Amino acid sequence: MEHQLVIVLDFGGQYDQLIARRVRDCGVYCEVRSYKTPIEEIRRLSPAGIIFTGGPNSVYDESSPHIGKEIFELGIPILGICYGCQLMAYTLGGKVAACDRSEYGKTETYYDRSSVLFGGIHLPETATSWMSHTDYVAELPEGFRVTAHTANCPAAAFECPERKLYAVQFHPEVNHTFAGQGMLDSFLKNVCGCIGDWTMAGYAQTAIQQIREKVGDGKVLLALSGGVDSSVAAALLAKAVGEQLTCIFVDHGFMRKNEGDEVEAAFQDSGMRFIRVNAKEQFMARMRGVSDPETKRKIIGEEFIRVFEQEAKKIGKVDYLVQGTIYPDVIESGLGDSAVIKSHHNVGGLPDYVDFKEIIEPLRMLFKDEVRKLGTELGLSPVLVWRQPFPGPGLAIRIIGEITDEKLTILQDADLIFRQEIAKAGLDREINQYFAVLTNMRSVGVMGDFRTYDYTVALRAVTTSDFMTADFAQIPYETLAAAASRIVNEVPSVNRIVYDVTTKPPATIEWE
Ligand code: XMP
């Protein structure tokens, strides 16, 4: 089934992905395209609407992204946001000037509710919008009228309904803009005529059909890590091509407690060929005497590829290799050919020796939360769908210093208790990543009448949106107390628990 399409034309703004997410939240399928997309391509795509994003530039900079006038002649509704709003005004003959005072943050905004964007939604005449600009539209192009203003911005929104052109200086996609989602929804439904036909059930159906057509009776190979993306990709492929799919799950032994079994159980009845390689002994042997974090990562990466290669060779020639690339990867790698380079990079060198015809990326157009929705739609276990990010080298980089069987067991047990307590407190979907670390430090304690000299376990929990920066999670003391008490009582060789209260930067999320 073909969905109505909206194009988010990317001018380099910081909220581009967010705009796309919000459009999809309205049930409308959209794709982010570069502002350089040729007009013929836009005509061919025949979108129901176009949204110009913000951008860091000033329209008067020569190097700024510009756009030809023809796009406004297509008869396709356009909404310009921030830089996109200024660009619309400038390109159509209006004037843009530097603000006396730039506006940043929450700004009191006066709306004219006779505008289709602002009427019919729960928006008072005065409400907060989120501004972030140093230029403003000083003079409108001919035929436009102002529909919102602020103390410092006389044209916070303007429009020419006859030409289906709309512009807002503020950011409706940001939560701080009161009723911003309603404004976007109104643009999509009432101006573009979108019906909101984008659902995960529909997506799954179409994707399965397309995969079947593409793969035919070919053989498909997937490296399953147990992470959300590769698990959902596996579930989708299994539904589409059943036993033509082989998933290889290399269990390096550094998974969290029971995790290897959970992954196996989730795919047992899926119809695909599922190969679990229990390679713990091999990995442990290579980790003996190793305590440097980067060396650990390197060894695990190499060994992973070696084990995968051995198994893949047994299958013989495959036609397709599946990758769990998701939309943010595609957008971040520049919306161009570079996306392909990154996807090769993602499989960690596998294409060099696994002989295959083509890569399939079935999640390429989905955001992370959509991947989770798809996983749920496909009936995948919540344990996998809601799995928090987990580093490839696993617990090996959460055991400081050399790894031993004893330390691995201690960490798996402590980590499980922490996860259970977080779930009990209902925080498991709120905190983005949380885990235990086995420090390489022992300290003195007392248990009964005896002196102990045992390990310190550190607990780490962070909230973050991009994993580039992070805050430590402000977990209730009761939850910390419950986890600490259970760990020291239930896990032998641990007598002290500390909670990591550093942000990233300067610390990283992982300890190694
Ligand atoms: P850091 O510790 O750098 O972590 O703040 C940021 C995010 O990346 C994950 N991470 C890794 N993922 N291989 C991976 O696949 C690795 O070697 C690795 N190191 C860190 C980490 O869990 C966090 O989500």
Measured from the Cα of 470, ligand 1's closest atom is 5
Residue nearest to atom 20 of ligand 1 (CA): 391
- Which atom of ligand 1 is the closest one to the Cα of 389? 24
Question: Could you tell me if 360 and 211 are in contact, meaning their C-beta atoms sit under 8 angstroms apart?
Answer: yes
Distance of CA 189 to the CA centre of its chain: 26
Cα torsion angle, 132, 133, 139, 141, sign: negative
d(C-alpha 313, C-alpha 355), whole Å = 9
CA distances (Å), origin 325, targets 333, 347, 411, 414, 482: 11, 10, 30, 32, 38
Ligand 1 neighbours, Cβ below 6 Å, are: 297, 389, 391-393, 433, 467, 504, 508-510
- Tell me which residue of 110, 191, 184 sits closest to 146, measured CA to CA: 110
Q: What are phi and psi of 186, to 5 degrees?
A: -65, -40
pLDDT tens profile 371-417: 999 999 999 999 999 999 999 999 999 999 999 999 999 999 999 99
Neighbour count for residue 131 (Cβ, 10 Å)? 25
Going by alpha carbons, the residue nearest to atom 9 of ligand 1 is: 391
Q: Which residue has tokens 């600490």?
A: 484
Q: How far is the CA of 71 from the centre of ligand 1 (A)?
A: 42
Q: How far is the centre of ligand 1, averaged over its atoms, from the C-alpha of 267 (Å)?
A: 26
Distance CA 442, CA 444 (A): 7
Query: Residue 414 to residues 286, 403, 409, 469, 492: CA-CA distances in angstroms?
Result: 25, 16, 9, 26, 10
The sign of the dihedral angle between the CA atoms of 43, 46, 49, 52 is negative
Smallest CA separation from ligand 1 atom 4, residue: 509
Residue nearest to atom 19 of ligand 1 (CA): 391
State the SS3 of 23-49: HHHCCCEEEEEECCCCHHHHHHHCCCE
Task: For 226-258, write each residue's pLDDT tens digit.
Answer: 999 999 999 999 999 999 999 999 999 999 999
Separation of CA 81 and ligand 1 centre (Å): 34
Q: Residue 158 in 3-state DSSP?
A: strand
Domain boundaries, the chain: 5-191, 200-385, 405-499
**How far, in Å, from the CA of 391 to the mean position of ligand 1?**
5
Query: Average pLDDT for residues 440-446, to the nearest whole number?
Result: 97
330 has a pLDDT exceeding 90: no
Which atom of ligand 1 lies nearest, measured to the CA of 392? 15
Q: pLDDT tens digit string along 270-288?
A: 999 999 999 999 999 999 9
The mean of the pLDDT values for the chain is: 92
Distance (Å, rounded) from C-alpha 277 to C-alpha 267? 14
Percentage helix, strand, coil, to 5, in the chain? 35, 25, 40
**How large is the average pLDDT for residues 177-202?**
96
CA-proximal residue: ligand 1, atom 7 (nearest): 467
Q: What letters, b where the CB count within 10 A reaches 16 and e where it falls short, cover 202-215?
A: ebbeebbeebeebb
Q: What is the best residue among 255, 462, 510, 511 to mutate for testing ligand 1's pocket, by most ligand atoms within 8 Å of CB?
A: 510
Q: Please tell me the distance between residue 493's alpha carbon and the centre of ligand 1 in angstroms.
A: 27
Active site residue ranges: 82, 171, 173
The domain at 5-191 falls in which architecture? 3-Layer(aba) Sandwich (3.40)
- Same fold flag, 200-385 and 405-499: no
**pLDDT confidence of residue 328:** 83
Q: Could you report the per-residue pLDDT of 15-42, keeping only the tens digit for each?
A: 888 899 899 999 999 999 999 999 999 9
User: Which atom of ligand 1 lies at the shortest distance from residue 507's CA?
Assistant: 5
The CATH topology of domain 405-499 is: GMP Synthetase; Chain A, domain 3 (3.30.300)
- Taking CA atoms only, the protein residue closest to ligand 1 atom 11 is 391
Is pLDDT of 334 > 70? no
Distance 511 CA to ligand 1 centre (A): 10
What's the CATH number of domain 200-385, 3.40.50.620, 3.60.15.10, 3.20.20.140, 3.40.1190.20? 3.40.50.620
pLDDT confidence of 349, banded at 50, 70, 90? Answer: very low
pLDDT for position 354: 59
| Residue 402 Cα to chain centre, angstroms | 33
Given ligand 1 and candidates 509, 511, 512, which is best to mutate, with the most ligand atoms within 8 Å of its CB? Answer: 509
Whether 300 and 396 have beta carbons less than 8 Å apart is answered as yes
Name the band, by pLDDT with cuts 50, 70 and 90, for residue 465: confident
pLDDT band at 345 (very low <50, low <70, confident <90, very high): very low
CA–centroid distance, 397 to ligand 1, in Å, is 9
What is the pLDDT, as a whole number, of residue 254?
97
Site to substitute for ligand 1 among 388, 462, 467, most atoms within 8 A of C-beta: 467
